[in-house]
Amino acid sequence: MVITRDKELSTLYGFEGHQVCSEIFVSTDAFCFNEWTLPPGTTTLRGASPGDEIYYVTKGDPTAFNAEMGEVFQMHQGDALLIPRGTRHQIANFTEKIVKIIATMRLKPGWKMRVAATFLRQEPEIL
């Protein structure tokens, strides 16, 4: 099955002028595959996923935070990051250029990917 851009589910959150876009290409009971676009000065929501996540940077230089260990990682185009399930984390773009990340997340059985309306207006918060 080929998933084209016209079939993706695009979601936005943040506040006007600083919105992060998540484009979900595939979401099943087992995994989710999406692309994040972080404009300058934005962050993803902080949180912990029900399964392992892998992020691959396709553009830009994001900063990753691991709240569990108090670690900060400066990432660059071509870098990958493994986030073990249950690890609180957040990705930030402190640069003046757009950041794009391909993300895959393993879901635990019975967990459904959902976008809450409250996320759409939430201001990002750095850990």
Could you tell me the residue ranges of all domains in the chain? 5-121
Digit-coded pLDDT (tens) for 15-46? 666 677 777 777 777 777 888 899 999 888 78
Cα 109 from Cα 81, distance rounded (Å) = 23
More confident residue, 77 or 47: 77
Domain 5-121 fold is Jelly Rolls (2.60.120)
If we measure between CA atoms, which residue out of 104, 113, 126 comes closest to residue 45?
126
Per-residue pLDDT averaged across 70-81, rounded?
A: 94
Query: For residue 74, is pLDDT > 70?
Result: yes
**pLDDT at site 50:** 79
